[in-house]
Amino acid sequence: MNRKAVGNKKVAIIGSGYVGSSIAYALALREIAREIAIIDINKEKASGEAFDIRHGIQSMGTADLYAGDYSDCKDCDLIIITAGRNRKPGETRIDLTQENVKIMKSVIDSVKEHYNGGVILIVSNPVDILTYKVTKWMNLPDGTVFGSGCILDTSRFVRCVADYVGLSTGVVNGYVVGEHGDGQVPVWSEVSIGGVPIAEYCDAVGLKWDESVKEDIATRTRTMGADIISRKERTHFGIATCICHLADAILNQKPTVAAVSSELMGEHGVRDVALSVTSIVGPMGVHKRIRDRWAPEEYRAFFDAVESTKEVLKQIDI
């Protein structure tokens, strides 16, 4: 099926839990979409979320937002899938795999009945596994299906670096690649402060910069999701704003570079798996995966994530 041109700014959000409803609220508040359909097996829950969002001050969100069904996937520019069981305290994203793959297969079977174009963005976890499976099930042009991947990890990483150097996030450039989970890889060789490599910056201002500092920041970035879940049982605001950024790139034709997950087609010598690399995201989804040059240890960590993700894929019987 050919990709269709963006124009309606219509979005379907499948799943009205904390993540789905937070995304709907953020999209409405920023007026990124003109039409937003919230779809859930529990239609009363979806209706409640839609009413709650619609009842805000009208001048702060004018989208036509409603509880819909799978028929509303027709003519969408963007379909965002958040359906699935949430991660429990002490549980890894991979622990969710088998159950959420089954849920995702059911969702995709329903989407296929009405799908006639548009980008499909996977947010459900484990996002890399689900992105790969949906890519195969949908059989659409490269990049039409992609996952949120490491965009949230990157945002957390940049925040941690900014906190360490005592500056705003706006002057920090850096990203995380690999798995959205324990196999994430901070690309330290590309981190800069105001365009200055971070090691040089820290040396110039008298800040300590060594492997222990890097490991502390990397660990805090990697464990932040689990830490938030242990404190409040869920995460949803951070990913909602990240998805808004991607939706803006897709719906308003504002291409951006982000570390998102899509099936790799030979980048870094890798195929048959979906993981995050820096990518150009625009109206048709992932337009191009950027072939960055990393440090040797970063390549090794990325290839470890490739192998561990492929091992999980081998164990899935759906």
Catalytic residues, by residue number, are 180
Picking from 228, 256, 242, the residue whose alpha carbon sits closest to that of residue 23 is 242
Picking from 265, 258, 268, the residue whose alpha carbon sits closest to that of residue 298 is 268
Q: Residues near 263 by Cβ (< 8 Å), separated by ≥ 6?
A: 131, 132, 135, 142, 145, 272, 273, 274
Alpha-carbon distance values, 135 to 108, 219, 262 (Å): 10, 31, 8
Give me 294's structure tokens.
């990393």
Residue 113, burial from CB neighbour count under 10 angstroms (0-12, 13-18, 19+): exposed
- 86 DSSP assignment: P
At 12 the three-state DSSP class reads strand
Distance between CA 220 and CA 108 in Å, rounded? 34
Alpha-carbon distance values, 156 to 14, 92, 310 (Å): 25, 18, 26
Distance between CA 303 and CA 308 in Å, rounded? 9
Distance between CA 233 and CA 86 in Å, rounded? 9
Distance between CA 194 and CA 305 in Å, rounded? 30
